[in-house]
Structure 1
């Protein structure tokens, strides 16, 4: 029963961490490219319909300006990533069931979640660099807003976002390996 409750707690924590990661990540990327949000993400997530701002563009080329853009960026970040945290939490939580007790399961899985977040951040930063050094000169076949002014920074942020999701899944794989190795080490030290 304790392991089941621990599993539920870990899934909840992972969802919250996923949302917080997205909120902080998007604050960074907003600093790099406001247009990525005003001309893409705010539209994608329908933030203008929340009563937080207005479309100062047209229906064909919208541009959403918010009264408090950082708040809107935070909302987008949470909405874009809490579900990734949920997915990762479910997988790592179930992997964590291999540990000898609920306490060990919790400690190792929290460390696994931290490992996943660190790898996601590192790979996301690589994506930013990849966008800057590679994609700007080899423009990807993405949909771009027609009223885009700073394409270079838009591309860099898009690359960082894509790489961050990839990093989450690479981090998940590394965290699974970490959790399994910790369980094996615990069993060996217990003489099993």
Structure 2
């Protein structure tokens, strides 16, 4: 029963962490390319109807809304998977500790992979004929728009790669605890 409640707690915390990650991620990418939001993301997430450029008095608030909406569900999915893997641990305390460590590993890998995507987008994709929807009208900084789009795509891929690494991390913590307890592996 304690492990089941711990699983629920992990899923809730992971969803909130996922949303917070999205908020911080999108604040960074908004700084790099405001147009990515004013000409794309605000429409994609239904904060504005298609038409002219979306201008808000405090756009950082809307950027936060987009960031949370874009990633809370990824946190839920990652938390559920890592929480289920965490059930292999001896008790709920080890489960919680190992799973939160695995979530940290996942976040770190997602962020680093996103930064790689940003650099890749800026250095290689920005000067190519990419097959994405890009608003051609009045786009002032196409290179930054593409770099930020690349960062977003790479971040999701990094989340999946990080999930795999998080699973490995959690299982390695199980082996660590088994060795520390003097039991056979």
Global fold match (TM > 0.5): yes
**Counterpart among 104, 113, 131 of residue 114 in structure 1:** 104
- Kindly report which structure 2 residues correspond to 1:10-49, keeping only aligned pairs within 5 A, or say none: 10-48=10-48
Correspondence for 2:166: 175
**Counterpart among 152, 156, 162 of residue 165 in structure 1:** 156
CA RMSD of aligned residues (A): 1.1
**Residues matched between the structures, number:** 182
Correspondence for 1:152: 143
List per-residue Cα deviations over 1:168-189 (Å, max 9, x = no partner).
Answer: 1110000000101110221122
Q: Distance in 1 between matches of 2:129 and 2:15?
A: 34
SS at match of 2:55: strand
SS at match of 2:127: coil
- Residues 129-138 or 158-167, more deviating: 129-138
List per-residue Cα deviations over 1:119-142 (Å, max 9, x = no partner).
Answer: 100000000000111101223111
Correspondence for 2:78: 88
**Counterpart among 51, 57, 65 of residue 67 in structure 1:** 57
Unaligned runs of 5+ residues in structure 1 are: 50-58
Correspondence for 1:124: 114
SS at match of 1:64: coil
Q: Distance in 2 between matches of 1:186 and 1:138?
A: 50
SS at match of 1:65: coil
Q: Distance in 1 between matches of 2:109 and 2:140?
A: 32
Q: Distance in 1 between matches of 2:157 and 2:108?
A: 12
Unaligned runs of 5+ residues in structure 2 are: none
Moved over 4 A (4+): none
